[in-house]
Amino acid sequence: MNTRQPRQLPAVWIVSIHDRDPQGRLAFDLQEVLAALGPSVERLKWAVTAWDVIGEGDQSLDMELQKARERGLKAIWLSGKVLLSVAERISQTIDATLIAAPMDVLGASSAEELNAVLDIAHLPETRAHLVIEAVDSAFFEVMTKDRKQVRALKSRFKDVRDEDPERYFLDRHDGRVATS
């Protein structure tokens, strides 16, 4: 008789942020999301897997990402401090995907583990802690393993919607919800 318990995956909370200004545009941008998340932003390493922004000088990050992809890489990695600096110079984030993991993720992970970290569908099972996605200049989604971050976002923004994690973590090969 097999008495092994199934592996318990960490809880993941997902919220989408939709605050609008009187003209109907987003009333915030990446800088405000990072500020709401607090000091943990600087303690994490950030993988940028998508980057389309408007702002002073920050198209260079898009060019870096394109060059990385030409070399077969899926992301470029930034420190939290660099990400905060870049975010200060952005006036509008159109599309972006940022995945945060512990600072030692690059040195302490195999290539397979690192690729899993970069696949949002596997967030619950990886060392990644947090994902921020800007979606078509329409809203931001934040996926986190820390409930305090959800509370911080809800206290900073007015229109924060809870999303169903089961709708997000799909096995990309066959469309089923990942169960292990």
Residue with tokens 């986190």: 144
Q: Is residue 177 part of a domain?
A: no
pLDDT score recorded for residue 121: 86
Q: Is residue 92 part of a domain?
A: yes
- Calpha distance 63→143 (Å, rounded): 26
Q: By CB neighbour count within 10 A (0-12 exposed, 13-18 middle, 19+ buried), where does 18 fall?
A: middle
Q: Is residue 175 part of a domain?
A: no
- Calpha distance 54→33 (Å, rounded): 17
Q: Is residue 1 part of a domain?
A: no
Identify which has the larger pLDDT, 11 or 35.
Answer: 35
Q: Is residue 84 part of a domain?
A: yes
Identify which has the larger pLDDT, 73 or 95.
Answer: 95
**Whether the predicted model's global pTM rises above the 0.85 cut:** yes
Domain that includes residue 137, residue range: 13-165
pLDDT tens digits, residue range 123-179?
A: 888 889 999 999 999 999 999 999 999 999 999 999 999 998 877 765 433 444 443
Dihedral sign for Cα atoms in the order 92, 63, 56, 40: positive
Q: Is residue 143 part of a domain?
A: yes
Both tokens of 90, joined, read: 């952005």
pLDDT score recorded for residue 43: 94
Q: Is residue 33 part of a domain?
A: yes
**Beta carbons of 143 and 120 less than 8 angstroms apart:** yes
pLDDT tens digits, residue range 7-27?
A: 555 689 999 999 999 999 999
pLDDT tens digits, residue range 56-92?
A: 756 788 888 889 889 888 999 999 999 999 999 999 9
Number of compact structural domains in the chain: 1
pLDDT score recorded for residue 15: 97
Q: Is residue 160 part of a domain?
A: yes
Looking at residue 20, the DSSP 8-state letter turns out to be: B
pLDDT score recorded for residue 2: 52
Helix (H, G, I), strand (E, B) or coil at 58: coil
